[in-house]
Amino acid sequence: MASRLILRIHEKQARLTGSERKIAEVLLQNQGIIETHSATELAVLAGVSKATVARFFRSLGYADFEEVRLQAREERNRTQPYRQSETFTQQTVLGRSIGDHMDLELRNLTRTFEELRSDRLAGIAKILSAAPRVWFLGFGAEDGVARVGRALFSKLRHEVHYLNGTGQDWSSDLAMTGPRDALILLTLEPRPKLMRSILAYARTSRMRIITLTDHGFQAQAERFSESVLSCHVASYSALPTHATLVSMLRLLAITYIGQNADAVKQRGETLDSIVEELDLLE
């Protein structure tokens, strides 16, 4: 389970000092330490001073160690499950407010990231770093989310592509893939039969498949994926929500930046120089 603390560490990872990285490493390996150890004990485990521990948590936005501990206890105690699709009547649907919508989306996001293993994003970021090419794939409404993913990561590295089978010509796109390429699949219900054929080809081609999906499909996705990021996607109606999928992609991108800060900076400078040369912005 990834807590808000772990998510903050991932977000700030590229800017941590050497001593702060030691503390981060201890917490990433066992985030339960927050509840079982004192700040002094954490300092000993990390091989740093207690003052460094205090500065570390302040840099993450906490007042002190006790605030972090209280947050961890609150997250552990929040165990109430909720359904994939909320039940409703026509009358309550018409009465749904912006607050109801926000509450459900926040529950989706909170549960998704609290259940995320702290090492999962780092492992996937390493796969993306080593991949010759990164491909995004989605069907139906998830096609748009795949385009968002491609737009995000194309700002961070070269050779980021989008499988779209223009005119149903999937063979042309798939012919450009190769061994060790990373395929990021975004999939919610309903799922087309074509998806199985494309994934079978990807596995035969020795692509490394990463799947972002809902909890109900997680077990099946683990059969063909090297890594699965499962998301809570409960909604009040037939319209699906993609908030958690998009947020997960952004967090994955932030983790990638943390591992490849210099390369990402160079990529950004290259893109900025091209934009300036083409005079694209006002």
Is the pTM value of this prediction over 0.75? no
Higher-confidence residue: 77 or 173? 173
Q: Please check whether the two domains, 4-77 and 119-276, share a CATH topology.
A: no
Contact between 185 and 199 (Cβ < 8 Å): yes
> How does pLDDT run across 31-72, given as a tens digit for each residue?
778 888 888 889 899 999 999 999 999 888 888 888 888 887
**pLDDT surpasses 90 at 280:** no
Closest listed residue to residue 211, CA positions, set 237, 193, 191: 191
pLDDT of 94: 39
- In angstroms, rounded to a whole number, what is the distance separating the alpha carbons of residues 122 and 22? 16
Task: Name the helix (H) or strand (E) containing 184.
Answer: strand 182-187
Domain ranges of the chain: 4-77, 119-276
Give the CATH architecture of domain 4-77.
Answer: Orthogonal Bundle (1.10)
pLDDT of 212: 97
Residue 78 pLDDT level (bands cut at 50, 70, 90)? low
Fold exhibited by the domain 119-276:
Rossmann fold (3.40.50)
